[in-house]
Structure 1
Amino acid sequence: MTAKLPLDQDYAAYTPADYAVWKKLADRQMKALREVACQEYLDCLDALHPILSPNHPPRFSDLNGRLLPAQGWSIKVVPGFLPVDEFFSLLANRRFCSSTWLRSEEQLDYLEEPDMFHDIFGHIPLYLNHEYGEFARRLGELGVRFKDDEEKVTQLQRLYWFTIEFGVMRQNGEVKVYGAGICSSYGETRHVFDSPKVEVVPFVLDEVLAQEFIITEVQNKYFAIQDFNELWKVVDELEARWEME
């Protein structure tokens, strides 16, 4: 779509070209992820079918109809990047922000900012998972509580980046992906498993909090958790640490 949609999903505005782009992206990722995504993501993706499928862009109202009764989450339409404090506030209130515009055919493999495919296909399925959703909510709560502490906000952004955006885990001895930046990107999915530059290390909280990242560059270092319960312990540890300062 050549113009971004208003702060509400005008479903009738999606064109045949948008349907074609969505189908190409969703078909490609569904095939790619079957072998490499964590079981939790795949289960949630299946649970959202046919609302979330290659056949059509998803209706946010239909997604909310599944998310709200399941775990209390819903989608908040936004025009683009939000101030970090507003973003954390939405997470704390079980709202995940999404744009409604979709990339063009020429942008299939690279975008400067997230579109609806990244926000919805990458992020939304796992909000049906209780452990994952509660981790995101509690991370948002920490962001709200410590929004005036620049160092802590930076650390929370790094934690978010290496979990919710670019998280991986080990299941049955194999690396599996769950981060939305991987699950929504064919190139990133292949990169994790094919690039000799990639390093997958155990998730150590202090290392994650100290790890800088550049949003416009492909990732070469990933921190592997064992399961989503580990993320709860991370939030517990971080909250206890900061409360003692």
Structure 2
Amino acid sequence: MESQFTHVHESPPPGAAPDWTCPQDWDAFTADEHAMWDRLFVRQSAMLPGRASEAFLRGIDVLRLEKPGIPDYRDLNARLMAATGWRVVAVPGLVPDATFFDHLANRRFPAGNFIRTPQQLDYLQEPDVFHDVFGHVPMLADPVFADYMQAYGEGGLRSLKFDALKQLARLYWYTVEFGLIREGGGLRIYGAGIVSSYAESVFALESDSPNRIGFDLARVMRTDYRIDDFQQNYFVIDGLDQLLDVTVNTDFAPLYAANAALPPIPVADILPGDEVITRGTQDYALGKV
């Protein structure tokens, strides 16, 4: 598959600050770009009740994301700061790891300052403003998840000293991007990569194909993942407190070392000690081979 990454820069491009932030310049978005946001928002928000976590749905209401058009960060940040002390900052595209961690550690969430085209409606490799703001920001209105994200950023900065970036990336992927939570007598979505995807919102909860496994920190940090299609594993937390607890109460240095001495766990493998909630058929992935 040909890469669709177009918002990648080796250094901050013209108009961006040394920390890679740039003005949102909300007035520069076109009517077509606002219409794309509205099209995506209506489609996703209609299917998420009963699928998305309570924290995510509360965040939509608290932040008033139902207002038409791409959110103006001047208004959005006033509500987000009041809720949890976080704010959204615009960036021109993907930012370096250290910069990303620093923003999170200081309760700033970097959001790509562009939106997908109609041709990219259902699949986009790089995070746009819809993925970043609709997918991520509602969870940042939850105090517990907001603290987890700050702790993750602080831990990410420390991880750079231990050559453990890949392990931290897996934790982010399987929680912030593609996490599931036990809630309401079943499973719900809180990961941004799922809630911002119409097709994966159905697949993650309703398909027989993927494994759904109870969350275990060390196991997650060794597990490879898919970047080009639906996930073959989803990890399930019991509550948002679980994420925060393991992040702030774990000494990561010996965990990094122990994991580094072990091979990565291939996508779709089930281990003897796993809490298997759903053993998937993997039919979807096998059908792509």
TM-score normalised to structure 2 length? 0.78
Amino acid at match of 1:114: P
Instruction: State the alpha-carbon separation in 1 of the partners of residues 50 and 252 from structure 2.
Output: 38
SS at match of 1:37: coil
Runs of at least 5 residues in structure 1 that lack an aligned partner in the other structure: none
Mapped to 1, the partners of 2:68 and 2:252 lie a distance apart of 47
Q: What does 1:157-176 correspond to in 2, within 5 Å? A: 157-176=169-188
SS of residue in 2 equivalent to 1:82: coil
Q: Say if 2:62 and 2:79, in contact at 8 Å, map to a contact too.
A: no
Q: Deviations over 1:9-59 (max 9, x none)?
A: 12222222112211110001101111200111111111112xx12621110
Is the aligned partner of 1:128 residue 2:167? no
AA in 2 matched with 1:42: L
Tell me what 1:85 maps to.
Answer: 98
Which of 60, 64, 72 is residue 45 of structure 1 equivalent to?
60
Measure, in 1, the Cα distance between the counterparts of 2:72 and 2:248. Answer: 35
What is the distance in 2 between the residues matched to 1:138 and 1:104? 34
* One-letter amino acid of the structure 2 residue matched with residue 112 of structure 1: Q
For 1:115, the aligned partner's letter is: D
CA distance in 1, matches of 2:58, 2:73: 20
Gaps of 5+ in 2: 1-5, 8-13, 16-21, 258-289
The one-letter code sitting in structure 2 at the alignment partner of 1:104 is: T
Alignment of 1:200-211 (within 5 A): 200-211=212-223
- The code of the aligned residue for 2:197 comes to S
Q: Percent of aligned positions with the same letter in both sequences?
A: 37
Point out the structure with the larger helix share: 1
In 1, Cα distance between the equivalents of 2:48 and 2:36? Answer: 18
Instruction: Give the 3-state SS of the residue equivalent to 1:210 in structure 2.
Output: coil
Which residue does the alignment assign to 2:235?
223
Q: Is the 8 A contact 1:99 1:116 kept in 2?
A: yes
Q: Tell me whether 1:194 sits opposite 2:206 in the alignment.
A: yes
The question of whether the paired residues in 1 share the 8 Å contact of 2:101 and 2:156 is answered with: yes
Quote the Cα distance in structure 2 between the aligned partners of 1:243 and 1:63.
Answer: 40
Aligned twin of 1:118: 131
Corresponding letter in the other structure for 1:180: A
Q: Does the 8 Å CA contact 1:24/1:54 hold for their aligned counterparts?
A: no
Question: What is the count of residue pairs matched by the alignment?
Answer: 239
Does the alignment pair 1:36 with 2:51?
A: yes
Larger radius of gyration: 2
Say which of 129, 139, 148 aligns to 2:152.
139
Structure 2 CA distance for aligned equivalents of residues 88 and 76 of structure 1: 14
TM-score (norm 1): 0.91
Contact 2:93 2:113 in 1 (8 A): no
Preserved CA contact (<8 Å) 1:22 1:54: no
Runs of 4+ in 1 over 6 A off after TM superposition: none
